[in-house]
Structure 1
Amino acid sequence: MKAILFDLDGTLLDRKTSVQVFLNKQYDRLYPWLKTMDKEAYIQRFTELECNGYVWKDKVYKQLIEENSFSHCSTEMLLDDYLEHFQESCVPFEGLHTLLYSLRAKGYKLALVTNGREMMQMRSIRGLGIEIFFDQILISEKEGCSKPDAEIFNRALNRLNVRPDQAVYVGDHFENDIIGAKKAGMKSIWKKHQPFHDSQADAEIDQLVELIELIETW
C-alpha cells in the first residue's frame, strides 16, 4: 500500500457540525436582515434545502429569501457571507491532524478527491488547515468529472504515480466513495456515519484513528 486517498465532507470535515456552527454565527452577524425568521427555523430550513451539501448555496439562499420576508437581503449578500466566513467554522473529525501527520511520517502518498465547487471546497480544506498534507487535491468542478466516475480516481492515481492495487480510498458515501473506488480498482474503507447493512467496502472504521493500524495490516 503506497497511497491513501480521502473524501472531504463527512470523512475529514465534520460537515454537519461545521454547518451548524456557521449558521449560528451567520444568523447573529446578519440578524438585522434575518430577524423576521427565528434562528432555529433558519438553521433547520437551510439544512433541509441544502441536502447535506448536494444543493449549491446560491440556490439555497435564493429559496430562503423567496420563502421569507427578509428586509433588504439578497442572495449575493448571504452567499458572500458564506464564502467569507464558512472556513472559520470548519470542524475536523477527532484525530484528523494526528492521522495525517502519522501517514506522512510513514511515507504514504496522500490525495484528496472531492465533489463540489472549487472555491468552496478549497476554503473548507484551508479552514481545516490540511492543504499541506496532500500531494494532490482533485475537486470535481475543476476536473470536469465527479465521483463515482472512475475517471476522477484514475487521475488522482496517475498524478500520484501509483497503481490502483497500491491505493485505498476512504469515504463516507456508499455510491460516490465505495462504489466509485471499486470502479477504479482500488480498495475502499467506509467511514461510518450511520448503520449500513452492507457497505461493500473492504473495511469499515468508526473513527479516523483506526485507519493507521488497519492499513498497516494490509
Structure 2
Amino acid sequence: MQTIVFDLDDTLYNQLDPFRIATNKILPVTFTDQEMEEFYLVSRKYSDEVFEAQMKGEITALELQTYRIMMACKDFGCPIDQETAHKFQNEYVFQQRQIKPFQEVEILLSQLKNAGKQLAILTNGEYYHQLMKIQQLKLHRWIPEENFFISGALGVSKPDTQVFDIVEEKLKAKKDTMVYIGDSFQNDVIGAKQSGWKVIWFNHRRHPQPTTSISPDAIIEHPEELLEYFSSKEKSANR
C-alpha cells in the first residue's frame, strides 16, 4: 500500500494568509503583495535560523517568534520593540486559528483516502502549536490521529533522516512505498530523499531550485497541479 505523508505549514494551507492579516493589523507598515511575501519569507529565514536552538530548549518558542519578526522588521526598515513583537505573535496565533486547507488539498485528501492510500502528517514545530493547526484544519477527516507526527513530540526534526525513519517504522511502511509532499527544499526534499523516499516539492512560492545533487521526483507550483499529478498517476496505474 502506498503511503503519502504531507508537511503541514505552507503545504496544506497558505501560511501567508494569517501572517498578512497580523502584519496589517499590528505592524506600522504598508506592503504591496510582493513586498508582503518577501517580508514573510525573511521572517521564515530567521525562524529557521534559530529553530534548532528552540528544539534543544536553548530558547523558548516565544523567543523564537519574537526574534524572527523583530529581525524581519529591522531588515525592512521598520524596527519594532518587544512589546509590539508580542502583540504581533498573539494576533498571528489568533489568525492561525482561522486557517483552512487549500480547496484542492481537501479534494485530494478525500480522493487519496477513498483510494485506500495510507495518509500521514510530518511537521516541524512545538507539539501543541502544531496540533492546534492540525485540529483547525480538521485533518482528522482524512488522517487518523496516530498518523500525526510532530517534531516537538518526537525529539528530532526534519531534515534529519532519523525523523523520516521513525515515521516509516511507526506506519509499518516500506521505503519504496513512501511519498513525501512539502514546500521546503532543505527540510522536505533533502531530508526525505536522503531517507530513500519519493518527494514532491510543492514549490508554490517559486523558489529557485538549489544547486545540489539531490532533486525532487516532481515539482508542483499550484495546489491544482497536485490534483492533476495524482489523477494522472492513477490513470497510468489503471491502464
The residue that corresponds to 1:213 in the other structure is 231
TM-score, normalised to structure 2, is: 0.71
The residue that corresponds to 1:57 in the other structure is 65
Q: Which runs of 5+ in 1 are unaligned?
A: 28-33
Corresponding residue SS for 1:145: coil
Given that residues 168 and 186 in structure 1 are in contact (C-alpha distance below 8 angstroms), is that contact kept between their aligned partners in structure 2?
yes
Q: CA deviation at 1:202?
A: 1.7
Deviation string for 1:50-73 (max 9, x for gaps)? 438536313235666993368xx4
State the one-letter code of the partner of 2:228.
Answer: E
State the one-letter code of the partner of 2:209.
Answer: F
Q: Percent identity of the aligned residues?
A: 29
The residue that corresponds to 2:10 in the other structure is 10
Q: Measured at CA, do residues 190 and 45 of structure 1 come closer, stay the same or move farther in structure 2, by a change above 3 Å?
A: closer
1:165 to 145, 170, 176: 176
2:129 to 120, 140, 158: 120
Aligned residues: 206
Deviation string for 1:151-189 (max 9, x for gaps)? 111111122111111111111222211121122221111
1:1-218 correspondence to structure 2 within 5 Å: 1-24=1-24, 26-27=25-26, 37-40=28-31, 47=40, 48-51=42-45, 53-54=47-48, 56-60=64-68, 67-68=79-80, 73=83, 76-88=86-98, 90-135=99-144, 136-193=147-204, 194=206, 195-196=208-209, 200-206=215-221, 207-216=225-234, 217=236
Q: Measured at CA, do residues 182 and 174 of structure 1 come closer, stay the same or move farther in structure 2, by a change above 3 Å?
A: same
Given that residues 18 and 91 in structure 1 are in contact (C-alpha distance below 8 angstroms), is that contact kept between their aligned partners in structure 2?
no
Partners of 2:133 and 2:231 in 1: how far apart? 27
* 180-189 vs 55-64, greater mean Cα deviation: 55-64
State the one-letter code of the partner of 1:161.
Answer: K
Partners of 2:140 and 2:182 in 1: how far apart? 18
Q: Which runs of 5+ in 2 are unaligned?
A: 50-63
Partners of 1:6 and 1:208 in 2: how far apart? 12
Q: Measured at CA, do residues 202 and 172 of structure 1 come closer, stay the same or move farther in structure 2, by a change above 3 Å?
A: same
Q: CA deviation at 1:203?
A: 2.1
Partners of 1:212 and 1:44 in 2: how far apart? 28
Q: Measured at CA, do residues 172 and 78 of structure 1 come closer, stay the same or move farther in structure 2, by a change above 3 Å?
A: closer
Given that residues 187 and 202 in structure 1 are in contact (C-alpha distance below 8 angstroms), is that contact kept between their aligned partners in structure 2?
yes
Partners of 1:197 and 1:50 in 2: how far apart? 17
* 199-208 vs 102-111, greater mean Cα deviation: 199-208
Q: CA deviation at 1:92?
A: 3.0
